[in-house]
Amino acid sequence: MSDDAPQAKGNFKHAIPEGEDRERLVCVDCGFINYENPKIVVGSVVHDGGKILLCRRAINPRKGYWTLPAGFMEQNETAMAGAMREAWEEALAKIEIEALLAVYSIPRLSQVQLIYRAHLAAPGIAPGPESEEVGLFAFDEIPWKELAFPSVHWALGHHREVLGQTHFPPFVNPPGEFGDIKPGL
């Protein structure tokens, strides 16, 4: 919250504010509306010599499963800087962003995921505090049944679709993959 925003300390109740179409937390005393908005996840499909960087999660959710280096953006951070930070935190990997690969909407988790395509900018990777282990995998070596999240599958597939291309439009969720909320509703 910024310094000039009211702190959520008042007498709040759930109500539909005038001009709105959904319930929000509204302060009964001053009318302040506490908007809760989706979280932004940033990450990358990092490649090096035809292999993909994956991290085995040391934390929940999905501890022990493999994922891309990704996580929540921080305040005052660009999306690309966040993706680079996450690669460092999870795999001690210095990366260079090449392009935005995909924008995935995960409404059941209130997430928007920005996934970049990147390559290792310096040799060497090692587990960071949120990873049990890290590795570089050829596409046919990826532990597909041990991937942590559907969006990891999507991003790896989308990365493969644009191999060798430098310009392409960002991908979105595969058809029918919108969780429990249908688009347009």
Over residues 83-91, mean pLDDT = 98
pLDDT per residue over 123-171, tens digit each? Answer: 999 999 999 999 999 999 999 999 999 999 999 999 999 999 999 999 9
| Residue 9 confidence (pLDDT) | 62
Q: How far apart are CA 151 and CA 33, in angstroms?
A: 32
| Residue 36 confidence (pLDDT) | 85
Is the pLDDT score of 172 beyond 50? yes
Q: How far apart are CA 8 and CA 111, in angstroms?
A: 22
* Helix, strand, coil share of the chain (percent; to 5): 20, 35, 50
Q: Over the chain, what is the mean pLDDT?
A: 91
> Six-digit token pair at 91?
């795999």
| Residue 7 confidence (pLDDT) | 52
* DSSP state, residue 174: P
Is the pLDDT score of 59 beyond 70? yes
Q: Is 107 exposed, middle or buried (0-12, 13-18, 19+ CB in 10 A)?
A: middle
**Residue type present at position 75:** Q
Domains for the chain: give ranges and CATH numbers. Answer: 1-36 (2.20.70), 39-161 (3.90.79.10)
Range in 75-79, 174-178, 179-183 with the lowest mean pLDDT? 179-183
Over residues 107-133, mean pLDDT = 96
| Residue 180 confidence (pLDDT) | 43
Distance (Å) of CA 127 to CA 19, 87, 141, 142: 49, 10, 19, 18
How much is the pTM?
A: 0.85
